[in-house]
Copies of this chain bind each other. A is one copy, B any other.
Amino acid sequence: MSPEDWAFWDTWMRAQRLLLRELDRGLQRDCGISKAEFSVLVTLRRPMRVGELADALGWDKSRVSHLLTRMEKRGLTARSEDGAGGRRTGIELTAEGRRLAESATRAHGANIRRSVLDALTPEQASAIRSWSEELVERVDPA
């Protein structure tokens, strides 16, 4: 790696970190939740199993389980008690969770638009899109 390569890489990663930090703080400030919690809220649109949610998010089951435990304590999600027939029915949002999902989507979307999308030129957007798609395809074709 040449010094220019390192400089390019450092700047890129620095921009990335600054952006994520700004968005995280916005979400925390406006809605009182973390980005991970936001992801759960918008993904859990219907009752699911833990494994299903983990797959949808591309996360590890353990991470989902820990996060659900914390969200459950705050009344955002619920684990349904094992059904009488012995079937596990899974997890779902509470009414409070659904309400938050709605308002957080609005607030977070506005932040993203303002901090990122509005500042992108069409060429930048298409280059980033193509790079992202290629990388996802290469690393995680599923």
Contact = CB atoms under 8 A, between A and B. Distances in A.
A18 B139 contact: yes
Given A109-B1, A124-B127, A127-B127, A136 B18 contact: yes
A14 B58 contact: yes
A interface SS class? helix
Interface string A100-142: 0000000001101100110111011111111111111011100
Contacts of A135: 15, 18-19, 119
B124 A12 contact: no
B125 A128 contact: no
A22 interface: yes
A69 interface: no
Contacts of A124: 127-128, 130-131
Contacts of A125: 8
Nearest to A17: B58
Contacts of A120: 131
Nearest to A9: B112
What 9 pairs across the A-B complex have the smallest Cβ distances?
A127-B127, A1-B109, A15-B132, A15-B135, A124-B127, A18-B139, A12-B132, A11-B132, A124-B131
Interface of A: 1, 5-6, 8-9, 11-12, 14-19, 22, 58, 109-110, 112-113, 116-117, 119-121, 123-136, 138-140
